[in-house]
Chains A and B, each alone.
Chain A
């Protein structure tokens, strides 16, 4: 098992290197150079060239990317922001807590609410409750994040004046961003839970458990849920990655000084080195979440655990996702 984890962690390295290369390449061929923005509107060609030289952007592609990796690996540095002249890594570090707080609470809360709603929907299939929760989750899954954020702000901050509008000012400031981030994950988790449970509940072993006289509650919570958990875990893990994406819009609207706002501003100001650092951190979080999800699979399903143990080979998630039917 430990062997498997180490192997997976090692496999993350080429992925992250790839992420850096891709983002770097995209930025390198950018239409608008950071220097143009920095030099200002009335800059001459010389000004821009000087800025380029100052930022080291006049060097060849391979030199630039090589020095980025060199600094990253040997100095643990992600470079210095073109705009703020601060080390990117420390900027990310000061902003990370806000984004993580919102992301983790929203993910946990959406997982719990989504799973409970999904189970209730599946158990009371075709009831009014099921109908309402299914409809609501279809709608919530289609809500654009900016509409949710602005709508919540309009109702709770502008009209009811219960919660602060923008910025971070005490715990109340977190409530709306958490709800806004968690809403569509709730819907997705609920939908996935419902369909996964309905899939499992018609399996022979559930009927067999009922034939043994196992109480219905145990049938649902122990026999069914554990088997239905793999696709649910996948969605919950994915949602955490999505909350990183969602933070860009959510933090922009609520003006929260987190990673999302940093990304949005660095992209629009062509502060590419900062963007690159942010994307790298996001990709890292996504990879870690994937690994955690895969490890959770092993906790849930003994067949997957056996595979991890025996081969130590990477288990492709997509083969497991389909009902957990490992051969």
Chain B
């Protein structure tokens, strides 16, 4: 019936060979309009973050008290803050911090999870038990709390905030990777690779991990979004990235006092967090459908 069988019958081997696997992934991805919009937004955001110094006539740090607390206008499309700084410029500049810190954090937690998850999933036994019990402990501390504690201990700054972000992320990624490796470990082609005398590292790297890649990429994308949210939460609470470095969370915190009269100082940075999170979530969903069409409803 019209399920996977028909679909795979439809894609003849030759067609797959001609275009490659990637072509079909891209095709499936492009069919998901929301994901394409999200990807575009993220690319624009990255470009904006990189070139923010050239994109607007204002400086993100320079105070101009004469123009303080202006509502959105043609000159300042998102208005100005209490020191007369252009909020749009600061949001772009803040994107640099948010994107960079969350990327660093997620890369760190992914690297840690790759090592820990591989050991736990592939070797099992005592190592698995030890690692997973440790993860049980980490996962029972609510993520933001753990980040806050680490951040308070380490102090502020981008790298330190990234570390604070990474630690709670490790547990979830490790668990996920471990379970996919455990499922793959017993499959016949891994047995075959073992029978050919491949070393553990070789088998892990060449046979096991590539097959865990799709869920990992999806989780990576989703984590980028949630860590942007988490970073802004930390900065909002006065941890993490500190003023004068603009970060969406600390911009909201600074604007909070003017909520009654100048809500734009809170709303725009807040919306920036929301849009970034939304974009990464949609991108993650789109990637999941594209990489693994079986998951699609």
Contacts and interface: CB of A to CB of B under 8 A. Distances in A.
Interface in B130-166: 133-134, 136-138, 140-146, 148-150, 152-155
A264 interface: yes
A144 B225 contact: no
Nearest to B153: A30
A146 B249 contact: yes
Contacts of A278: 145
Contacts of B273: 144, 147
B266 interface: yes
Interface stretch (B42-50, B63-71, B199-207, B230-238): B230-238
Contacts of A286: 140-142
B281 interface: yes
Interface stretch (A12-20, A168-176, A214-222, A296-304): A12-20
A248 B175 CA distance: 26
B145 A318 contact: no
A145 B270 CA distance: 9
Contacts of B146: 279
Interface in B214-249: 225, 229, 232-233, 236-239, 249
B259 interface: yes
A267 B274 contact: no
B179 interface: yes
Interface residues of B, number: 48
A268 B237 contact: yes
Nearest to A202: B297
Contacts of B278: 138-139, 142
Contact of B145 (A139, A142, A245, A287): A245
B238 A268 contact: yes
Given A147-B252, A279-B149, A31 B233 contact: no
Nearest to A280: B141
A195 interface: yes
Interface in A3-36: 14-16, 18-19, 22-23, 26-27, 29-32
A198 B154 CA distance: 45
B253 to A, nearest CB: 8
B117 to A, nearest CB: 13
B140 A248 contact: no
B87 to A, nearest CB: 15
A282 to B, nearest CB: 6
A273 interface: no
Contact of B152 (A141, A249, A252, A270): A270
Contacts of B256: 150, 253
A144 B140 contact: no
Interface residues of A, number: 53
Interface string A202-219: 000000000000000000
B242 to A, nearest CB: 12
A125 to B, nearest CB: 8
Most A CB atoms within 10 A — which of B145, B238, B281?
B145
B103 interface: no
Contacts of A19: 137, 140-141
Interface string A128-163: 000000000011011111110011011000100000
Contacts of A242: 142
Nearest to B137: A18
Contacts of B275: 142
Contacts of A153: 259
A8 to B, nearest CB: 12
Nearest to A318: B179
A167 to B, nearest CB: 16
24 contacts: A14-B133, A27-B153, A29-B153, A32-B155, A138-B281, A142-B274, A143-B274, A144-B229, A144-B273, A144-B274, A146-B232, A146-B236, A147-B267, A147-B271, A147-B273, A150-B270, A248-B233, A248-B237, A263-B145, A267-B152, A267-B237, A275-B152, A279-B141, A318-B179
The 9 closest A-B pairs by CB, nearest first: A147-B270, A18-B137, A142-B278, A30-B153, A245-B142, A142-B277, A31-B155, A245-B144, A144-B273
Given A19-B140, A138-B281, A142-B278, 4 more contacts: A22-B138, A144-B229, A151-B270, A248-B148
Interface of A: 14-16, 18-19, 22-23, 26-27, 29-32, 138-139, 141-147, 150-151, 153-154, 158, 195, 198-199, 241-242, 244-245, 248-249, 252-253, 263-264, 267-268, 270, 275, 278-279, 282-283, 286-287, 290, 318-319
Interface of B: 133-134, 136-138, 140-146, 148-150, 152-155, 175, 179, 225, 229, 232-233, 236-239, 249, 252-253, 256, 259-260, 263, 266-267, 270-271, 273-275, 277-278, 281-282, 297
